[in-house]
Structure 1
Amino acid sequence: YFAGHNGLIAAAYLQKAGLETVVLERRHVLGGAAVSEEIIPGFRFSRASYLLSLLRPHIYKDLQLQKHGLKVYMRDPHAFTPMLEEGVGGRPPRSLLLGSDSEKNMQEIGKFSEKDARAYPVFQSHLEKIARAISPLLDAPPVDVAAINEGSLRRRVAALKTLRPLLQCGMDAQVQYGIHLTAVLNCWFESEPLKATLATDAVIGAMVSPRSPGSGYVLLHHVMGELEKERGAWGYVEGGMGGVSDSIASSARAHGASIFTEKEVTQVLVNQDGCATGIVLKDGFEIHSKVVLSNATPHVTFGQLTPQVLLSYSVLLNCISQIDYTSPVTKINVAVDRLPNFLAAPNRSDSLPGPHHQCSIHINCESVDVLEKAYQECKHGRPSTRPMVEVCIPSVLDPTLAPSGCHVISIFSQFTPYWLEGGRAWTENDKEKYADSVFNWIECYAPGFRSTIVGKEVLAPPDLERIFGLTGGNIFHGAMSLDQLYLARPLPSVSSYRSPVKGLYLCGSGCHPGLSLNLNG
């Protein structure tokens, strides 16, 4: 139940293997956070998640997703960081534009530091080496600790083999990316715009700063993504991110799976022997099965849907309550009647996009200190007064999303708390005030931006929880901190995807490997 992308992938594989599978989704649309919705007439948005990279290549192939309609627009260049500064000698302000062309990358970085321009390709090779070593961990369940300690010789050997990727990447890498990212970046680079741009991938979606311990790991997780055999590449899905979910659902249906929307699961049925036997819908209708897979967060699965009287293991419930679901994210979906015109890269015309328009456009990324200050404000219950803002305009590459000449813009912003200062809940006025602040900052880099807006939607952390079932508004189903990864995701006792209730399994992003579009287990 819960037809997010991971649940759909699990259903497709199970049905393909010959098991009769039924998928139940609470909302009117499939995909969980990977959905496309026309929330403003004529404009189709990736309402929550908005970029594709972490869908594992073997899943793409096994489920024949291209055959089932998945089309991806590759972005190159992929990152644009404009500076908020006065241009010199009548020239525009500086900016940083990064893509797959190494020569161009070095030229761009050289505007800020020749030393960094030379170091960047070496740094990329360093990340690639570590990503290659760790990548197999994403396609395998966590090591079976019980097998190592108590299993047969054959089981022990098989379990130990799963540790090989960790050993191959070496202690230096494990230590480096276990400390805070700023320390890692300072070893390589001196220019603040480059460091801040790279740091965004380490803190995106996470209630951490570049100076938080372990922040380097999420950067690694992002470069382990792959599109069109290009590691670390990110793309736009035609028709929005719902195209991913729809193609997976189509593959599952082609193998015989039954998929239903507007069917809200309210309880997991458990018999007297403590075994899951099915589910109960909101209308009281029962569906019986031999196995139940939950694509909901561990908090929802165990705290809301599993009968508490049967969860006599209070230690598990207490541990579940300790999982960190903190979210710093407010997603703003905006419809505009023309492209933003950045001071650092002036438009040739209102309708003709430049290379930078297809990128993740990083606003307020002049330095790591700017990101740190934004984080510190949020820690004290205040939305950042100078937030970290990532602007994406998928309609530059995908004309199906907006009327001619118009565009859809995804604004992924942080840092914003779930509860405001004093424990106060968000109001519509609070959301309007925060959105105005974000728009004002974009206006500083692209004058006239506000006048192009024809509609918007503001989703603060509580909205992400209410609409998409993301506990705490956390886009990863739980923080990607080092204490909540691998054997500890979501807890050591349930890291094998099996729950203490026989026949009840977890298959969402709250399990290893975490944030990726992946089949878990």
Structure 2
Amino acid sequence: MIWSTTRKSGRNIFHHKITLKKCVQSWYNRYLSTVVTNPEHIKSEYDAIVIGAGHNGLTSAAYLAKHGLSVAVFERRHVIGGAAVTEEIIPGYKFSRASYVLSLLRPLIIKELNLKKYGLEVFLRSTAAFTPMLDNGFYGGKPPYLMLSSDPKLTYNEISKFSENDAKAYFPYEDAMSRISAAIKPILDSSPPVTSSSLFESLQSSLPLLKSMRQLGADVGSFYELFTAPISKILNRVFESEPLKATLATDGVIGAMLTPDTPGSGYVLLHHVIGECNNVQGSWGYVKGGMGSVSNAIASSACDKGAQIFVSQPVKQICVENESCIGVVLKGGQEIKSKMVLSNATPHVTFEKLIAKEKFVKHSDFLQHISKFDYTSPVTKINVAVNKLPNFLACPNKPGNEVGEQHKGTIHLNCEKMSFLNDAFDDAQKGIPSSRPMIEMCIPSSIDPTLAPPGHHVISLFTQYTPFYLNGDQKWTENDKANYASTVFSRIDDYAPGFQESIVGVDILTPSDLEEVIGLTGGNIFHGAMSLDQLFISRPSPLLPSCESPFRGLYLCGSGAHPGGGVMGSCGRLAALTALKKK
């Protein structure tokens, strides 16, 4: 839901909706005209059809078109990008409405699709994390803060403020994480091992896994622990200061209905440190023009190779006959034939919404697995337009509303202690939004000023924990959303007084909104929980290899397939290569 704001007696009042249709910006319309095909040009048959123009669907389309196939992409929304989208929700302010930072996009895809040629530009963040605190500072001064930087000396000094031992332990910990990340990267670019009638094919599909295990070497024990243990166990063993442990722990729970004490949260952390930005391992960056620029670059690459992209064309049904996929039917009733269909929708939507249930008579076990796939999400995404930068008590702004290092990275609020994350989780388990939510604040306009008017900024608030339904079965009302947003803003005000006064407009996406607007089942940003039972050969079902389905010619190219969520592109690439191999 999109709101503008006014001031009244010092309170934040949400007073009216701004319809998104009125806010679709002319700059984006001009861009769409270069990549989106007029629906009058939809053909009756294509070599391949892609359902959904999220970044993975577009990646599939680009690879298929690169190999000479005629490809059509059908997107239900009026914009392309799925969760990797830029939208001018509030006039003059361009938001990365869902996903908001980049690191996981595979270098192989950037190179093979020549995405830099098509405008992909990423600004590396010099500050990784900023964690301000509320308690009295040293000797009664201003509250302390922790800042993790690309400058090792600065990071060492920052951690030393809380623990000299932690400062010494931090870099060996980072080195170990980097080695483990580097070792498992081949798995991200390869399909999981499959059982095949051909011994050669079985061994060939296992090579990336064997290569990773060999590269792990002496780190295999640490890798196993990271995969299976709660991240709190690892962090408590290595570090002693709560601000550092809590800051690192957020990457173990981000986007997941977990706490740092949940077994398997270590892998969620690993998933968030496995990427790179501008060839700097483990770093994150802001995409110039917002996250939609990622999707736009992939779309341009696909269109240059002959793919056609159609927006506002939702697919109503995937057509299956004699155990084979034969095409799709659009919502308007038009049937499009194709022997190859790749779905960027979630497994739930693909198999339970778009295919008639009677088609699964021979595949009831598979459908049972899909129906039990976990999409639980804790996330409410709030996008905020402000007329000035937040001014943190722990690290006050320079004169003139000048951007500081504290504004450039991920700002962790309510994250001074790991126990705060556990408490926030407990609220959601009771069916209520967290009263002290975990907040990850990012200000992309601090590095990319093209996103907002001069002196103004766009702010991304990735908040946890919120349930899909309130009190077990109640849908969120507009009043519920406004109340939760007010709670979030009030908490931010504790750290940066005056934040609420700076608000120009707000866009609130609860888990149910993320499902309805973006198409994320359960509001889950990963197309399904990244838990150990839903990874690798079990994603989305252990009964079939990753992107494949029970029906010939139908493939899953979204994040519900291996290797999972994040703006990575691997799911789309692997699905396209598998489809090409089997056509």
1 CA distance for matches of 2:423 and 2:400? 35
- For residue 252 of structure 1, what is the amino acid of its counterpart? A
How large is the Cα RMSD of the aligned pairs?
A: 1.1
1:346 matched to 2:396? The reply is: yes
Deviation at 1:89, TM superposition (A): 4.0
Contact 2:193 2:202 in 1 (8 A): no
Distance change >3 Å, CA 190–CA 90, structure 1 → 2: closer
1:508 matched to 2:558? The reply is: yes
| Per-residue CA distance 1:98-118 (angstroms, 9 max, x = gap) | 122111111000001000000
- Structure 1 partner of 2:135: 85
Deviation at 1:90, TM superposition (A): 5.8
1:22 matched to 2:68? The reply is: no
Deviation at 1:348, TM superposition (A): 1.0
Deviation at 1:18, TM superposition (A): 1.1
Q: Identify which of 343, 358, 382 aligns with 1:294.
A: 343
What is the SS of the residue equivalent to 1:126?
A: helix
Deviation at 1:172, TM superposition (A): 3.6
- Structure 1 partner of 2:28: none
Contact 1:26 1:263 in 2 (8 A): yes
- Structure 2 partner of 1:465: 515
Which range moves more in the overlay, 164-173 or 239-248? 164-173
What is the SS of the residue equivalent to 1:331?
A: strand
Deviation at 1:71, TM superposition (A): 1.3
- Structure 1 partner of 2:40: none
What is the SS of the residue equivalent to 2:537?
A: helix
Deviation at 1:77, TM superposition (A): 1.1
- For residue 151 of structure 1, what is the amino acid of its counterpart? S
Q: Identify which of 298, 302, 313 aligns with 1:248.
A: 298
1:213 matched to 2:263? The reply is: yes
**What TM-score, normalized to structure 1?**
0.97
Q: Identify which of 39, 46, 58 aligns with 2:108.
A: 58
Q: Identify which of 431, 442, 448 aligns with 2:492.
A: 442
- Structure 1 partner of 2:578: none
Distance change >3 Å, CA 90–CA 172, structure 1 → 2: closer
- For residue 245 of structure 1, what is the amino acid of its counterpart? S
2 CA distance for matches of 1:350 and 1:324? 48
**What TM-score, normalized to structure 2?**
0.87
Deviation at 1:23, TM superposition (A): 0.6
Report percent identity of matched pairs. 54
Contact 1:96 1:109 in 2 (8 A): yes
1:136 matched to 2:178? The reply is: no
2 CA distance for matches of 1:160 and 1:246? 34
- For residue 289 of structure 1, what is the amino acid of its counterpart? S
Deviation at 1:168, TM superposition (A): 3.9
2 CA distance for matches of 1:108 and 1:280? 58
- Structure 1 partner of 2:463: 413
- Structure 1 partner of 2:569: 518
| Aligned counterparts, 1:94-493, within 5 A | 94-144=144-194, 146-147=195-196, 150-152=197-199, 154-164=200-210, 165-166=212-213, 168-169=215-216, 170-271=220-321, 273-312=322-361, 313-493=363-543
Contact 1:205 1:327 in 2 (8 A): yes
- For residue 518 of structure 1, what is the amino acid of its counterpart? G
What is the SS of the residue equivalent to 1:177?
A: helix
2 CA distance for matches of 1:216 and 1:252? 36
Deviation at 1:159, TM superposition (A): 3.3
What is the SS of the residue equivalent to 1:163?
A: helix
Contact 1:495 1:512 in 2 (8 A): no
Q: Identify which of 83, 107, 124 aligns with 1:33.
A: 83
2 CA distance for matches of 1:238 and 1:507? 26
1:76 matched to 2:126? The reply is: yes
| Per-residue CA distance 1:400-431 (angstroms, 9 max, x = gap) | 11111100000000000001114111111111
Q: Which segments of structure 1 move beyond 3 Å, counting only runs of 4 or more?
A: 88-91
2 CA distance for matches of 1:474 and 1:167? 33
2 CA distance for matches of 1:49 and 1:407? 17
Deviation at 1:298, TM superposition (A): 0.3
2 CA distance for matches of 1:381 and 1:393? 30
- For residue 570 of structure 2, what is the amino acid of its counterpart? L
2 CA distance for matches of 1:385 and 1:243? 35
Which range moves more in the overlay, 301-310 or 88-97? 88-97
Contact 1:338 1:350 in 2 (8 A): no
- For residue 305 of structure 1, what is the amino acid of its counterpart? L
2 CA distance for matches of 1:27 and 1:386? 34
| Per-residue CA distance 1:269-310 (angstroms, 9 max, x = gap) | 112x12111110000011111200000000000000012111
1 CA distance for matches of 2:541 and 2:66? 29
Contact 2:539 2:546 in 1 (8 A): no
- For residue 113 of structure 2, what is the amino acid of its counterpart? L
Contact 1:330 1:459 in 2 (8 A): yes
Please, which runs of 5 or more residues in structure 1 have no aligned partner? none
1 CA distance for matches of 2:472 and 2:204? 52
- For residue 353 of structure 2, what is the amino acid of its counterpart? Q
Deviation at 1:87, TM superposition (A): 2.5
1 CA distance for matches of 2:524 and 2:234? 26
1 CA distance for matches of 2:353 and 2:296? 28
2 CA distance for matches of 1:257 and 1:389? 40
Deviation at 1:171, TM superposition (A): 3.3
| Per-residue CA distance 1:7-29 (angstroms, 9 max, x = gap) | 00011011001111111100010
